[in-house]
Chain A
Amino acid sequence: MKKSLMLLVTVVFSFTALAGCGGGSKPEQEAGGDKTQSDSSQISEKKVNEFGWEMPDKTIEINFYSGQDNPDKVNKYQAELQKYILEKFNVKLHNIVYDVDQKEKLNLMLASGDYPEVITGLNESQAQQWVNQGKAVEIGQYVDQSGANIKSQLETWYKSYPSQDGKLYMLPKYWGLLPIPDNSAHIRNDWYVAMGSPSFETPEQYYDILKQMQAAHPKNAKGEKTYALSGIAPVTTNMVPTLAGMWGLQNGYKVSPEGDMTHWVNTEEGLELTKFMNQIYRDGLLDPDTFVNKFDEWKAKFSSERIMGHIGPWWQSWNAGHEVWQKTNKDWKEDQRYVQVALKAAGVEKSYLSPKNARGGTFTIITDKAKHPEDIVKWMNFSITDMGTRLMGWGAPNQPDSVWKFENGKWSWVEEAKQAIINATWNYDKSDTLGQTYLMLVEGQGTMKDDGKSTLWFDQNFNNEAKWKKVMNDNLKDTIYDNSLGSITIPANDPLLITQQQIDDQLETLWAKTVMSKTEDEMTNNFNVLKDKLNRAGLHDIEKYRSDVYKDRMKNWK
């Protein structure tokens, strides 16, 4: 009995050990990396895929950090496109995110030396910080060798990216100018139509309509109080630049023809827009949580029909308005939605609501961890092309859920997906599943050159056919402007950065207090206190820095 038991145990151990050995090789095959390498290495001639990409013998692996997000979510959503690109291009892209503040994570990466070979989504001063510390690779030579598309796509902007000594370390992401609006005022459409669609142009006229609308709908279906306007904190970042644009300011600054930039709190327009908000507060029609709401809290109020209007990005009232109602209300009708409208204060020549940065506001660097930076540049050189941009922006073609097809060198839309956008029935969860924009490094968002109309954002390709998008674009077409010169960031480790943070913090606190003043006199007094405090904290230094950079760009970026 004892011998039999020993024999049994020995057999079991032996099998387990063998099974363990076998199992060790299986994941490698499944992962595809080594298999692809060994298979590819047997190919003697270079294989070119249907996108014109010359398949590398060895898998190009690009791990890139892109900022703060939920890692599980991003891993789930990038999987499909990741697999497609590995199969078709022999390139393994891996988007790494952490649920940690991006600024904090980047500093920890620098301090610890633990970072991947590519980092994207950096603002210019963050990218410069990596360059200054010798952690970013100079890529000019690689772009000269194999980056013809990069140069031709970026055109005249290309010369604005190298540092002062002429070395190139960063390439832009989301460059290009797509003339579609981003920000605006919003109004509840069906209730507005029910009022007889009265015309309005100024913020005061707009508020007057919201006021009447609120009077007609003082409570929602649950008996909760309604408001004319609400906001998402920080309001001075999320709402004020758009509001200031209605008074003719550009992204919160008054810009003189000579390039002098004055912050809105130091302008008459700043006082006027504060008066406007204070009036809404004093009428009891500003959501008391305006300065506290996080997006989800605001969305909960907005989707429960408690807010008549909104000032901010167009997608917010879509996301928190009809996109929720479509799913929750079986009797939902198409006109139950918000429409985006332009406002212009009296006496103002032009309203500046949607600043565009054709040069690109975020950047990608290759770090010193990259063993073969030339391969990464090669991939960028493909992905920056129009077809590459389609792939990155729209997801893989020819798949069961794809939104586009690519056959015999020609591309076309999947009609069902196109109609879903046009009819505003597209489920945006599908965009995520397709991996749309999850694996981007250097793609532009302007109109593509090969057909003069396609764009990176899948849902922005049918604006003239999609009824409500067309309404929005027609309403807001004169409010879009090129803000490439005015998109200025303060370099990392510059003492002005602390000043900027102090000013931002104080501004939000003191402006909230000013807007929530009980009388107009109190509001004016609080506004003057705000102005004095910010100027004492160094706002004039910030204005001077920005003006100097703006003027320098006016001279050099012609």
Chain B
Amino acid sequence: MWLISIPMILWVLVFCYIPMYGIIIAFMNYIPGKPMFSSDWVGFLHFKTFFHSPDFWHVIRNTLAISGLGIVFGFTAPIILALLLNELRGRIFKRFVQTVSYLPHFISWVVVASILFATLGNEGFMNDILLRLGFIDKPISFLGEGKYFWGVLTTTNVWKDVGWATIIYLSAIAGVDSELYDAGKVDGLGRFGMVWHIILPSIRPTIVLLFILGIGGILNAGFEQQLLIGNSQTREYYEVIDTYAYKYGIQLGNYSYGAAIGFLKGIISLLLVLAANRISKKALDTSIL
């Protein structure tokens, strides 16, 4: 088995671990074009700069809020949808619904942003309807006011990925032993009872695994969607760690600053995964390590 794994282990080593030495520039004043090790060593300067940045708190707040909403809605929605799909009896209808629910996953964010502008813009479809029905007397700036941004983004994220994310749950549900259902029937369980007492406990390891991995990605609050849907009016609500690192690190040529922010994000994510894993191990006796 180890022999078979060697190529993959080498691949991971070469492409995932060796490049990590570059993280050292987070502690240097790296200037593009100069050899990395001739750059000045500055210790934690870039981390301090980030902590003292006027944007620090709202960047962290936005990242946690958008990710938190993603976990609450984006994590639960596929489970619910998978359970509902599992209850569909007509094979053709079930496949049709599944296919339709996957489709948004394949639409690029550029197209999604265009759809959003056409729907929720000041002169979009939604405002048009609300104005015509007399519910409002002037357009609501759904995409121009920060207070709507998290909601719009979470809804869009859920819409785009809910179908795709059900695949893994549907396969987990398909793996539930049919004898359990028979036993449930004998015990007089109805459809909700089956879901609650048989399906959910059976797919619990899958749910926990995906939850722990999801916690690790809690600081991945998005990138393209923020840049495409966000604008100067909503900046205080859309700027997240990744967009900030891109703008101030890559675009300004401050690679060290960008690397420091990325490194910080990686450390926090790792700690979150370890914490979630520990909690899960204690509470549910299920873990990934």
Binding site for B on A (CB under 8 A): 101, 103-104, 106-108, 110-111, 113, 129-130, 132-133, 135, 224, 233-234, 284, 288-289, 291-292, 492-493, 495, 497-498, 501-502, 505-506, 508-509, 512-513, 516, 533, 536-537
Contact = CB atoms under 8 A, between A and B. Distances in A.
A233 B230 CA distance: 13
A288 B257 CA distance: 36
A291 B250 contact: no
Contact of B144 (A106, A129, A288): A288
B233 A291 contact: yes
B282 interface: no
Contacts of A130: 33
Contacts of B33: 110-111, 113, 130, 133, 135
Contact of B236 (A133, A509, A537): A509
B49 interface: yes
B252 A498 contact: yes
B123, B231, B251, B255: residue with the most chain A Cβ atoms closer than 10 Å: B231
B32 A107 contact: yes
Given A289-B122, A505-B235, A508-B235, 16 more contacts: A103-B251, A107-B253, A107-B255, A111-B32, A129-B253, A132-B31, A234-B232, A288-B122, A291-B232, A291-B233, A501-B252, A502-B55, A505-B232, A506-B54, A509-B236, A536-B54
B122 A104 contact: no
Contacts of A506: 54-55
Nearest to A233: B232
A498 B49 contact: yes
Interface in B245-289: 247-248, 250-255, 257
B53, B254, B257: residue with the most chain A Cβ atoms closer than 10 Å: B254
B132 interface: no
Given A292-B144, A537-B54, A497 B252 contact: yes
Nearest to A507: B232
Given A110-B33, A288-B141, A493-B31, A498 B231 contact: no
Contacts of B141: 288
A288 B139 contact: yes
A103 B54 CA distance: 23
Nearest to B141: A288
Contact of A101 (B54, B123, B251): B251
B162 interface: no
A104 B250 contact: yes
Contacts of B49: 495, 498
A284 B232 CA distance: 20
A508 B252 contact: no
Nearest to A510: B236
Given A111-B32, A292-B144, A509-B233, A103 B254 contact: no
25 contacts: A103-B251, A104-B250, A106-B253, A107-B32, A108-B32, A111-B33, A129-B253, A224-B123, A233-B231, A233-B232, A284-B138, A289-B121, A493-B254, A495-B49, A497-B254, A501-B247, A502-B54, A502-B248, A506-B55, A508-B235, A509-B235, A509-B236, A512-B232, A516-B233, A536-B54
B55 A104 contact: no
B40 to A, nearest CB: 11
B89 interface: no
Contacts, number: 89
A35 B55 CA distance: 59
Contacts of B257: 498
A17 B148 CA distance: 67
B233 A292 contact: yes
B128 to A, nearest CB: 11
B241 interface: no
Contact of B253 (A233, A492, A502): A492
Interface in B37-67: 49, 53-55
Interface string B133-146: 00000110101100
Nearest to A133: B33
A108 B253 CA distance: 9
A495 B236 CA distance: 22
A239 to B, nearest CB: 13
B34 interface: yes
Contacts of A233: 231-232
Contact of A493 (B138, B231, B251, B253): B253
A291 B123 CA distance: 15
Contacts of B231: 233, 291-292
A224 B127 CA distance: 14
A381 B49 CA distance: 46
Contacts of A132: 31
Given A113-B33, A493-B31, A508 B247 contact: no
Contacts of B144: 288-289, 291-292
B257 to A, nearest CB: 7
A470 to B, nearest CB: 37
Contacts of B143: 292
